[in-house]
């Protein structure tokens, strides 16, 4: 497939080499220019292009930018084919993104993203830490393989998202429609807690919409406090351990 990636941060920069290693034709762009994309991101054949070039002639576009930057992407979609699937990895963090009134009132984050882009989206790769995404890839069928929830309104689009998640080293888990995707937003039991596919249904079912934002913000405070203490021995996977304590 022909895949474009907007955003070369902690997720996009890993998606590009993994998907190109599976034989996909991958283009990746950021806001700073193709010359700023690291060589390791292009090591398996992905091509660095400008932001204005990335959306043309694609089967799939992956948007992987901070949520507050999502509205800036719409003008760049002018050349995106109408039948291309859009997969979004973003999450709402008011401390980073500023307060967005609709989201603070409880609008599903991916519905807001759809409104900004004027396109339906698949929600995927949002619910895993950058550290786990790099460290814990494993082949399909591996015991204890981490699962990543995937939501979309279109069944075929969701299946495509799940297949691509599998190709990046994780079990793609069917998390239902975009209306349901609040269950994989920050603060929910499946969010960045490194669960398996077997654990995923119960965790999705435990999500409580009004509690997730409070837990998200609490986790941010705890993580900031721990990282700001030079005496803290955080150790491996401390982000996942904090999230499991507060979310699950």
Report the CATH number at residue 82.
3.40.50.720
pLDDT in tens, the chain (248 residues): 999 999 999 999 999 999 999 999 999 999 999 999 999 999 999 999 999 999 999 999 999 999 999 999 999 999 999 999 999 999 999 999 999 999 999 999 999 999 999 999 999 999 999 999 999 999 999 999 999 999 999 999 999 999 999 999 999 999 999 999 999 999 999 999 999 999 999 999 999 999 999 999 999 999 999 888 888 778 779 999 999 999 99
Does residue 39 fall inside a structural domain? yes
Both tokens assigned to 109 = 């984050």
Does residue 154 fall inside a structural domain? no
Single out the residue of 165, 18, 131 nearest to residue 173, CA to CA: 165
- pLDDT value, residue 231: 80
Distance of alpha carbon 86 from alpha carbon 126, whole angstroms: 14
Does residue 30 fall inside a structural domain? yes
Distance of alpha carbon 64 from alpha carbon 101, whole angstroms: 22
The answer to whether the beta carbons of residues 90 and 126 sit under 8 Å apart is yes
Per DSSP, the residues of 186-227 read: TTSTTTTS--BTTTHHHHHHH--TTTHHHHHHHHHHHHHHHH
Does residue 130 fall inside a structural domain? no
Number of domains in the chain: 1
Running DSSP on this structure, what letter comes out for residue 151?
B
Does residue 96 fall inside a structural domain? yes
Angle of helix 155-167 relative to helix 12-21, nearest 10 degrees? 90
The answer to whether the beta carbons of residues 169 and 137 sit under 8 Å apart is yes
Does residue 106 fall inside a structural domain? yes
- Give the predicted TM-score (pTM) of the model: 0.96
Place of tokens 């043309």: 56
Query: Which range marks the domain in which residue 37 is found?
Result: 1-119
Handedness of CA 107, 191, 31, 5 (dihedral sign): negative
Does residue 178 fall inside a structural domain? no
Does residue 33 fall inside a structural domain? yes
SS3 content of the chain, % helix, strand, coil (to 5): 40, 15, 45
């Amino acid at each position: 497939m022909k895949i474009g990636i907007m955003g070369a941060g902690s997720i996009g920069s890993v998606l590009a080499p993994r998907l190109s290693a599976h034989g996909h034709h991958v283009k990746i762009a950021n806001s700073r220019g193709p010359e700023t994309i690291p060589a390791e991101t292009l090591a398996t054949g992905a091509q660095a292009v400008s932001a204005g070039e990335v959306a043309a002639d694609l089967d799939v576009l992956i948007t992987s930018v901070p949520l507050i930057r999502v509205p800036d992407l719409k003008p760049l979609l002018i050349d995106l084919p109408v039948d291309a699937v859009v997969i979004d990895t973003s999450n709402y963090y008011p401390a980073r993104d500023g307060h967005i009134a609709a989201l603070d009132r409880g609008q599903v984050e991916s519905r807001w993203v759809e409104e900004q882009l004027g396109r339906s989206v698949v929600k995927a790769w949002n619910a895993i830490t950058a550290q786990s995404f790099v460290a814990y890839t494993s082949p399909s069928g591996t015991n204890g393989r981490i699962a990543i929830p995937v939501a979309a309104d279109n069944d075929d689009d969701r299946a495509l998202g799940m297949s691509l998640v599998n190709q990046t080293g994780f079990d793609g888990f069917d998390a239902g429609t975009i209306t349901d995707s609040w269950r994989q937003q920050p603060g929910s039991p499946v969010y960045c807690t490194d669960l398996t596919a077997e654990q995923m249904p119960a965790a999705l079912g435990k999500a409580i919409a009004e509690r997730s934002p409070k837990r998200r913000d609490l986790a941010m405070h705890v993580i900031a406090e721990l990282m700001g203490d030079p005496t803290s021995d955080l150790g491996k996977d401390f982000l996942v351990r904090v999230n499991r304590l507060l979310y699950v």
